[in-house]
Amino acid sequence: MLNLLKKILFNDLQSKNSKNKEIQKNQKPTYSHIEEEFSKCADITKKEYPQIHLQLMYFEYMIAKEMVEKVLFSKIEKLNAENIKSFLSQHQFQACDDSKEAVNALLAGNVIIFHQDQTYIFAAINLQTRAIQTAESETIITGSHDAFNEDINTNLSLVRRRVKSSKLKVLKYSIGKITKNTVYILYIEDLAKPDLVNELKNRMENIKVDAIYDVNMLVQLIEEYPTSPFPQIFTTERPDVMSSKLTEGKIIGLMSNSPYAFSAPATFFDFVHSPDDYNQRWLTGSLIRIFRLFAFFITVTLTALYVSITTFHYAMVPELLLPSLIKSRSNVPFPPIIEALIMEFTIELLREAGARLPTKVGQTIGIVGGIVIGSASVEAGITSNILIIFVAVSAIASFVIPSYVMSSSVRIIRFGFIIMAGFLGNLGISIALGFLVLSLTSLTSLKTPYLWPISPTQPSNWLDTLIRAPLASLNNETNTSKKKKNSNKNKR
Amino acid sequence: MNRLVFLLVFIFFLTGCMNNYGIDDLAMISGVGFDVSKHEDHHLDITAMYQVPTETDVFEYLHASSNSLENADIEMMSQTKRQVVNGQLRISLFGEELAKDGIFPIILSFLRDPSVGPLVSLAVAKGTAKEILITKLEKEPNTGSYIETMLERLDEEYVYPSVNILQFTRSYYDDGIDPILPMILTTKRNILLDGFALFKDDRMVASLTNEKAIYLFLLSEDFKKGVIDLEIEIGGKKEDVHLSYVRTKHKIKVKKENNDFTVNFDIHITGNLEGYSGKQTLTKDSVQKELETKINNVLNSEMKDLLSFLQKMNVDPVGVGEAVRNSLSYNEWKSLNWEEVYPKINFTTEVNMKIRNMSKFQ
């Protein structure tokens, strides 16, 4: 990472130094200019046909070779000085008067053709990409399984296939001074609020960064509270989720070379919902949503509760549970807070190791971690049985949250709760909960409250937030669209 | 901002000054008993029991004599390596002699201690509280928990109520009712409920046996549980009647004529007749009617006896005072000298017993 940073900085400096050498905009492209621009690029291919004064430049691995061979090279070879002009006037040869544009086209994977003082771009992009595969980090049981991949056009098509509407508008941006990633901002006109679209446009235009590689990086540049532990813009690899966000009146963004997409504005509840909630019966969906919210609180507080109870609040324990709790604690030489932090730390290590390792080795790690470390550490008297249960349950609960980014955030704030519980007991947990609620309510995502519709309170919208009411009663038109319609009516 | 950060950091360092013993280093007192001390300077003999945290069914006792519960702490602490805490207290027992002297100062100590909950059961020990606490039942070594569970079960399944700190305090401060407490007796091999202690303010003045206490609860409470055993006379022969699944409803009506109060208890009882020692065939309607009137008569006379006994002792565990107070305006009640009025009240009782169901066979 450090190397990368150095490289970026270095490049940046270099480009500043060689500013006067750099090709100016609106300069007419010439072969020698472009050649100089790509000096020391061993991977560039140059072809010359001196008898007809024709030069070609392209990156061999970025073009559709067979097509270019058939349509371009084979025909050029048959050309002579007379008919070359008419050949190049065909529509697939786009004349180009701007050096900058020519360079960008070349980098994107086109063939640049120089003939005398005229330059043409021949569209031949064919980038090797991964096929559309099943979603890996957000698997569901019922519903569509396709996921975005690294090719932005594929991603765009995945969305367009689902939302067949001319109202689906697409804005294009190029982000990153060096990496020059294409970003598409998509929204449905009439559904998305124009001021939010404008706000997002502003933010996209104001991004000043040299390099960016993923949507998850991009959203950190455009969210309002970059220091908050919680993600404020929802990212997913599922095109069906993104399409549903579009129809909810949200704005989504796709980026080249990233298998993720973002949607804004996001609420806290976006991160704890899954398409499965809608694909299953409403009762199942509602119950699972409630469970997930429980899981959120369990993750945050359960280990902390163990610490506070064993440190301060012995009186809270039911009489029958007390002997077993005491017995499991009595062999442990550490105070509960140290014991809990050790265990939580171990679980985090296990999780991280499992995530970085190939699947097959990952399973071994699970067994080693779960069974060997778990039971052995109890026998060795490092931790108590009951803590293992608490830590395991809260770890499992954290994985119930569908969004990986959110579940990681939750696991981090849990440490704060444990420390507060160790120092101040239940009072500490209450204080931490207070801060949690404060920080959640004070967040906004693209000018929209993060905890909507809980705060500001709009009980009519709880039907699709806390629970998942039957689809008929959710009234397939979303609130935003209804509002929009009404306002349109008023205008008329 | 800097000041806030400093404060927050400081809070965490200061917590080091607080003593936080681990849960396995505590002597959690589960039962405590109070007796009158023979010691000259001290008023109380305190016995406390706790389970040794690391062992199963091993209990230790702490003894102290002092003038209050708070003052006994140091003496108790010097008897164990563990920190003595009250947060798991389940039952508090008072020796009979102490109960007669007054127990409210101790209750007040409980109320002041934030770690003692209001649901701690209270009971009077026949003899001394120490005697009961140190009784080791063969299968139930946790005496404190055993007594509490026993009282709870009696409360849930039968008519005998268990009394906790909250209920006792409420009755104590209410000027229309006097508190009662269950009484516990130990034979060396068993611990059992043996009647109820009647309190005037916080001093025990009389007691009722288990059998008589039932009439007290019929007068003061509605319940949907329990059994009543009665002895009735039919044709000069004594016969036993056992009623189960008893449901009762009671109404207290107060009439004031001149300065004389008449209080009428209207009590409806339905129950299953499960046991009957007589020879008559129960399926006959006439026999049932006869039994019902006999039972009514017995209950009526027993209740009258009980009420006059209570008047004689000048204690009011039934809550007659509450009923009278509710029928009067505040000024009238304030100007009334209840202590003098109570013994002169004229009581009438109307018991209406219905047999709802019979035993399975005849």
**Structure confidence by residue, pLDDT tens digits, A271-305:** 999 988 999 999 999 999 999 999 999 999 999 99
The per-residue pLDDT for B16 is 55
Is pLDDT of B20 > 70? no
* Of the partner residues A329, A423, A424, the one whose CB lies closest to the CB of residue B22: A329
- Work out the average pLDDT over A30-43: 86
Pull the structure tokens for residue B114. 């934030």
Q: pTM for this structure? A: 0.80
| pLDDT interval class at A2 (50, 70, 90) | low
* Of the partner residues A309, A323, A325, the one whose CB lies closest to the CB of residue B56: A323
* Of the partner residues A319, A325, A423, the one whose CB lies closest to the CB of residue B23: A325
Distance CA B270, CA B288 (A): 13
Is there a contact between B54 and A325 if contact means CB atoms under 8 Å apart? no
Residue keyed to tokens 């939010």? A196
Is pLDDT of A480 > 80? no
Helix, strand or coil, per DSSP, at residue A129 = coil
* Of the partner residues B54, B85, B87, the one whose CB lies closest to the CB of residue A326: B54
Q: Which residue has the higher pLDDT, A88 or A2?
A: A88
A385 contacts on B by Cβ (under 8 Å): none
Distance CA A448, CA A264 (A): 9
Tallying the residues shown for chain A, one arrives at 492
406-435 in chain A: CB under 8 A from chain B: 423-424
Is pLDDT of A196 > 90? yes
Q: Do residues A44 and A38 lie in contact, with contact meaning Cβ atoms separated by under 8 Å?
A: yes
B54 contacts on A by Cβ (under 8 Å): 326-327, 330
What are the beta bridge partners of residue A111? Answer: A122
Which amino acid type is present at position A252?
I
Residue B207 to residues A263, B99, B211, B342, Cα–Cα distance (Å): 76, 11, 12, 19
The per-residue pLDDT for A267 is 93
Tens-digit pLDDT profile for residues B186-207: 887 889 899 999 999 889 999 9
A326 contacts on B by Cβ (under 8 Å): 23-24, 53-54
Nearest to A295 by CA among A392, A388, A391, A398: A398
Q: Do residues A158 and A225 lie in contact, with contact meaning Cβ atoms separated by under 8 Å?
A: no
Distance from CA of B12 to the nearest CA of A (A): 7
Is pLDDT of A478 > 90? no
The per-residue pLDDT for A25 is 57
Q: Which domains does chain B carry? A: 18-208 (no CATH), 211-358 (3.30.300.210)
Helix, strand or coil, per DSSP, at residue B161 = coil
- Report percent pLDDT > 70 for chain B: 96
Is there a contact between A314 and B90 if contact means CB atoms under 8 Å apart? no
Tallying the residues shown for chain B, one arrives at 362
Taking the CA of residue B280 as centre, how many other CA atoms within 13 Å lie in the half-sphere pointing to its CB? 19
Please name the residues in contact with A483: beta carbons below 8 A apart, sequence gap of 6 or more: none
What are the beta bridge partners of residue A241? Answer: none
Chain A residue with minimum CA distance to B23: A310
Residue A440 to residues A38, A394, A445, A461, A463, Cα–Cα distance (Å): 50, 21, 11, 19, 21
Angle at B8 between CA B7 and CA B10, to 5 degrees: 65
The per-residue pLDDT for B203 is 92
| pLDDT interval class at A492 (50, 70, 90) | very low
For A435, phi then psi, to 5°, come to -65, -40
Q: Do residues A307 and A336 lie in contact, with contact meaning Cβ atoms separated by under 8 Å?
A: yes
Nearest to A170 by CA among A254, A87, A250: A254
Is pLDDT of A392 > 50? yes
Q: Do residues A123 and A90 lie in contact, with contact meaning Cβ atoms separated by under 8 Å?
A: no
| pLDDT interval class at B362 (50, 70, 90) | low
The per-residue pLDDT for A3 is 59
Tens-digit pLDDT profile for residues B343-355: 989 999 999 988 8
The per-residue pLDDT for A290 is 94
- Work out the average pLDDT over A2-31: 57
Residue B319 to residues B103, B176, B219, B255, Cα–Cα distance (Å): 21, 6, 9, 16
Is pLDDT of A485 > 50? no
Nearest to A230 by CA among A417, A412, A456: A412
The per-residue pLDDT for A147 is 93
The per-residue pLDDT for A195 is 94
Where do the domains of chain A lie? 20-122, 152-266, 280-448
Please name the residues in contact with A110: beta carbons below 8 A apart, sequence gap of 6 or more: A58, A63, A121, A122, A123, A124, A125
Parallel, antiparallel or unpaired: strands B83-85 and B26-36: parallel
- Among the residue ranges A242-246, B141-145, B196-200, the one predicted with the least confidence is B141-145
B115 contacts on A by Cβ (under 8 Å): 315
What are the beta bridge partners of residue B348? Answer: B264
Tens-digit pLDDT profile for residues A170-183: 999 999 888 888 99
Distance from CA of B61 to the nearest CA of A (A): 18
Instruction: State chain B's mean pLDDT as an integer.
Output: 86
Distance from CA of B159 to the nearest CA of A (A): 25
Is there a contact between B20 and A335 if contact means CB atoms under 8 Å apart? yes
Is pLDDT of B19 > 60? no
Q: Do residues A179 and A213 lie in contact, with contact meaning Cβ atoms separated by under 8 Å?
A: yes
Taking the CA of residue A64 as centre, how many other CA atoms within 13 Å lie in the half-sphere pointing to its CB? 10
Which amino acid type is present at position A378?
V
DSSP A268: G
Q: Which residue has the higher pLDDT, B149 or A374?
A: B149
The per-residue pLDDT for A487 is 47
Distance from CA of A143 to the nearest CA of B (A): 49
Is there a contact between B22 and A310 if contact means CB atoms under 8 Å apart? yes
- Work out the average pLDDT over A112-120: 86
Nearest to A222 by CA among A474, A447, A378: A447
318-337 in chain A: CB under 8 A from chain B: 319, 322-323, 325-327, 329-330, 335-336
For CA atoms A424, A430, A431, A436, the dihedral sign is positive
Going through A205-302 in order, the beta strands assigned E by DSSP cover 234-236, 251-255, 261-264
Distance CA B147, CA A448 (A): 60
Distance CA A450, CA A442 (A): 8
A49: left (phi over 0), alpha (psi -120 to 50) or beta: beta
| pLDDT interval class at A18 (50, 70, 90) | very low
Q: Chain B residues within 8 A (CB-CB) of chain A?
A: 11-12, 15, 20, 22-24, 26, 28, 30, 51, 53-54, 56, 85, 87-88, 90, 115, 117, 145
Pull the structure tokens for residue A113. 């053709």
Cis peptide before A453 (omega within 30 of 0): yes
Is pLDDT of A5 > 70? no
The per-residue pLDDT for A24 is 57
Is pLDDT of A4 > 60? no
Instruction: State chain A's mean pLDDT as an integer.
Output: 85
Tens-digit pLDDT profile for residues B43-77: 889 999 998 877 778 888 999 888 888 888 888 88
